[in-house]
Amino acid sequence: MGNTPDRSTERIKVKAFAKINLSLDIVGKRSDGYHEVKMIMQSIALHDSLTFTLAPELSLRTSESYLPVNDQNLIIKAAKLLKQYAGIKSGADIYLQKTIPVGAGLGGGSADAAATLMALNQLWGLHLDTTDLMKLAVMIGADVPFCLTGGTMLAEGIGEKLTPLPALPKVRLLLAKPPFTVKTKEVYGKYGTLSVTAHPQIMKVVDCIKLGNFWGITNYWGNVLEEVTLQLHPTLKTHMLELTRSGLPVRMTGSGPTIFALIPEGFTELDKLKEKLSKDNWWVYESDFHQGGNQFLVEKGGEHGEKTITPHKA
């Protein structure tokens, strides 16, 4: 392809949005070891911020010293994959301001990788379409294709088969992560040793979303990985029960360990719950649903303009 960068665009800033799983089911296992899933995925307002500046070489800096800045980071993996696919020698200085907790089941690394593909596609003037970017996304990780588009989606296959669903209302969320992480590979591996009989009714959740019956989804939702992670970390179950007893619908996202609660209008116990979680050294964050895309602030010379990049414009 050999495109040269558009030098009029020298810097792009991106918000990379986290996700939650409103429901997650495992429906099979493939010969290559990957699990076949059926999930309802939803973007949330919590986000990392990334800045991409044209440079001779590819480099990554982060706000957190513990984060890798080499190929172990999905940002560098995505950038190198894009360079190889496009057949270019362009570089970029990338700065990551990390806000989404690591190893939390919130898709932070996947969101950063998706934002990298979209931003460098524009910064380097590649003009690749969504189909091209999706091919690369699925090579990076199962959640990356969703993070390219965001919004509300039914995800199938290993997460790459996406069906858009109607946007959800701006419901408030309480996110809570204990002071430890879990390894996704370990959770999926242990799942294979359990006999899980309770599965979410994913298509009934889809029906509720299509009918605009948002709170009805809590009658059918679920996450089959909860059983695994709650066995590994019983403290999660204790706090989930406390939130449930307070009247909040609660689920775990992904393989955990982050849990989230939907906050109905007029709920008055939130501050008390947040204080108790914080005293137990949990990370606590209030958010809401975010609908689609990664938000770009493009700097061209001295001009500034903000726009939302959607998949068909990528």
Q: Which residues have a catalytic role annotated?
A: 19, 143
* Residues in Cβ contact with 32 at an 8 Å cutoff, skipping those fewer than 6 apart: none
Three-state SS at 109: helix
Do the bridges between strand 58-62 and strand 91-97 make them parallel or antiparallel, or are there none, so unpaired? parallel
Cis omega (within 30 of 0) for bond into 257? yes
Closest CA to 94 of 67, 128, 126, 127: 67
Tokens representing 131 are 């189909």
Residue in this structure with the two tokens 């918000």, named with its chain if needed: 15
**DSSP bridge partners of 20:** 42
**DSSP bridge partners of 62:** 96
Compute the Cα dihedral for 168, 251, 267, 218 and give only its sign.
positive
Three-state SS at 188: helix
